[in-house]
Chains A and B, each alone.
Chain A
């Protein structure tokens, strides 16, 4: 074509390439399932749409880039820099010439900023963050509501459950959902802490600590130790994610074993034991007396998610 690759076209091509890069990376994450290492499942659909939109935008950007090879594509913007004249033959949209105007060093910095996440994403393996972040986050043992909660009328939950049971799970209006969940757990022979409602179950049991004494519980999680625990104690925990990694926080239960040394920090275990209670940092929380423990493999998606609507699903 005989057209020189001028600096403007280079910017156009670079931008198009970066856009494509981002959409490929995101699609790659969604197809491999690794996306769940980064965000909660509810967001995945929006992220797929975003990646699709990125491809469309990138396609147009490539088109603009090719056009810019043939003729000067001036993209001006009201209010932005207008250091060009309007005597050219084609005007396609507007462009903010920030990138063009800056020095090359600055351009490298800015494009580098966009390339850095792509580079990190493609080069480094996705590893699951379990306990490596706990130290910076602080452990969450649940068990807060009753003493801190708003003073609402104390009521029994509605429904036609066993009246004696209802009396046991009497609570203020606001904790009714946790009371209902608690009643459900109470009737189970073994309380299994699965991915679903991990956080809600923890909260429920800690709201009604006394009702769950010496019940059997089964839980899988990673091991973590915190100052303030006695020598035979450790915490078995899961990471809870609300939106993305920036907001993950650990949720766990204190466990007590005769042979605590076999539970190394960061390792995953399946623990079966009986619930009792303890006081940690001034809160009354449940505690597990370990009866059986076996090493477990960490799940491919290590996170548990709070369920906004668990009350209506009970």
Chain B
């Protein structure tokens, strides 16, 4: 999937691929139909479960991704780079703290955040601010606070550990990115270097109003498809894993000590839950897992998960995404180790 975005233009005209792919699919369909029969495919339990999980994830994410791409389109059309620059504090610490608090004002999860972030960076938001926002936004917001607080009603320390660890991890990562990552990390820039040309956006001022609306809508659509394919692919993998991998196999990694933390972080990565609902899943695992590992689940999962990483790959260079994953992993794991002694 990732290659789809990196792939340099290949001739559009070649129909050969089409024929090859079409016949391949046809052969596979024929094979399946002849071996199992059409009705067998429909009634198969696994296919059913896959379908339900897959569509459920998409439908649930739909409002959020639409908000994300729409904001992104609005930013593209109406916000100039200068406006953005005025808005972001120059001091890195202040910038990072601003980014952390942004989530409180815009409580949307990463499905909505990632599409908007690309535009924000292009409009001049510093990378370290954007990184902090992406990482901490899905966790440090009132909706997530309330749901975690409710799920862990009898142990508020879990809620505060979650919020605190998320904030600290994002702060440190923001500072690291500020210090060490100076180059542009947006994926498209790879191509732009090759295909460089400048232009201004002042054409057709007479049709401004009409054009602006269509411009926003045109953007919304292309962003939707651009991000959507990553979301869909991610949802598909998550659904497949839900069908074929049982939670017990992760529990088998360990349910006490550092291994429990690792197991739960892995679970957060695989399940790719929305940060507003993962607290109840964590609560249901309370009897088996230690509190520190549950915090690991609820901090690592929303920051780094299959669905989210795929969407980040649409925006950032692969190397940068890997760097982020590593940093988040190390910091959150270290954090859960500390929490083991406190909680």
A residues near B (Cβ < 8 Å) are 7, 15-16, 18-19, 22, 26, 29, 35, 37-39, 43, 46-47, 49-51, 53-54, 56-57, 60-61, 63-64, 75-83, 86, 90-96, 98-106, 108-110, 113-114, 116-117, 120-121, 123-127, 129, 132-133, 135-138, 140-141, 143-145, 148-150, 172, 174-175, 177-178, 240, 242-247, 249, 251, 281, 283, 306, 308-309, 311
Contacts and interface: CB of A to CB of B under 8 A. Distances in A.
A38 B156 contact: no
Given A26-B59, A244-B57, A102 B10 contact: yes
A47 B62 contact: yes
Interface string B207-240: 0000101111111111111101100110010110
Contacts of A144: 286-287
Interface stretch (B92-100, B129-137, B244-252, B322-330): B244-252
Contacts of B7: 101-103, 106
Q: Is the interface of B mostly helix, strand, loop or mixed?
A: helix
Interface in B272-300: 272-274, 276-278, 280-281, 284-288, 291
Contacts of A138: 246-248, 251, 285, 288
A79 B189 contact: yes
A246 B18 contact: no
B5 interface: yes
Given A75-B218, A100-B12, A249-B284, A120 B51 contact: yes
Contacts of B51: 120-121, 124
A106 B277 contact: no
Query: What's the interface size class on B, roughly?
Result: 35 or more
Contacts of B219: 75, 77, 93-94
Contact of B221 (A15, A124, A148, A247): A15
Contacts of B340: none
A54 B201 CA distance: 27
B197 A82 contact: yes
A243 B273 contact: yes
B304 interface: no
In order of increasing CB-CB distance, the 4 nearest A-B pairs are A93-B218, A93-B215, A243-B277, A60-B217
B153 A177 contact: yes
B60 A43 contact: yes
A175 B154 contact: yes
Nearest to A65: B221
Interface stretch (B29-37, B40-48, B173-181): B40-48
A136 B247 contact: yes
B191 A81 contact: yes
